[in-house]
Amino acid sequence: MRPFETVKVAVRRRINHIFNDYEAGERPALRRADALFPTSSVAWRVNGDIVTMMIGGVSGLLLQMLHPKVLAGVWDHSDFRADMHGRLRRTAKFIAVTTYDHAAAGRAAIDKVNRIHARLGGELPDGTPYRVTDPDLLAWVHVTETISFLNAWISYQQPDMSAADQDAYFDEMARIGLALGADPVPRTRADAEALIQSFRPQLKADDRTTEVAALVMRQKVGGLAEDAAAGVIMQAGADLLPDWARAMHGLPGASPLTRRAAGTMARSLDWVYTGSPNRQVWPEEVKAWPDQL
């Protein structure tokens, strides 16, 4: 094995362990030709980039929690103080499975989330009731997550992405939003931006928002190199927020150095994964991730 290839394999193995609970039997999702999205889809291009998906995931989570009912769902039904990394990892796993794995596995992942959501609800501090299955609430979660993933991709991997491809991404990802019960679901970038604006009167930031955001921003994943990378990702995620949302959180924009570091990280991991088993479309007879990879 060539020296550079040895390094690439070691980095991929480390990342596989960060995003998958190997002790619980989790492994990376295998890419399949019969996934919910075709291999030629924009979703396959955007959702497979680790750095931009993590940056977008952080940005989306920070946006989502500005809605009091979304924040209440996290506060009431999530062990976020002890396991914020696990929450972020589960989101990444859901995106990977619904984008790349067998269509049946993608539908099973969606069904599992729907079953969990059906049990969850509560009251805001002022007594206002909420249900996690509220279609309007799910629409907010879907649109903020989707636009954040796309914005991170454009910022750090494809700044010249066409408007047509951006619209195609929203149209493709609508399939997931609709299956999760979101309504309305944007089909274009203009629809997404208009939907976000329509929610702004409902948004607020309070002490609970600050507490959860602080936990997100100081995530540790183990090891000095990994934690340094996580710090760049968290800052880049906050930087990706609309100005009004970043102001509500009281978070600063990223420095030019941080943006360059995020871009370098994205390009470096793209090199690490180019030609790798993680990006291979696997045949039907391969049923599980080969542990030697």
Mean pLDDT by 10 residues, the chain (293 residues): 80 89 88 96 96 95 96 85 72 94 96 96 94 97 98 98 98 98 98 98 96 87 84 96 97 96 96 90 87 61
The three-state secondary structure class of 259 is helix
pLDDT value of position 80: 67
**Report field, pTM of the whole predicted structure over 0.85:** yes
Non-local (6+) Cβ contacts of 4 within 8 A are none
Q: Helix, strand, coil proportions of the chain in percent (round to 5)?
A: 65, 5, 30
* Structure-token match 């309070």, residue found: 206
Rg of the Cα trace of the chain?
Answer: 19
The three-state secondary structure class of 33 is coil
Partners of 123 in beta bridges: 129
Partners of 282 in beta bridges: 32
281-282 vs 31-32, strand pairing mode: parallel
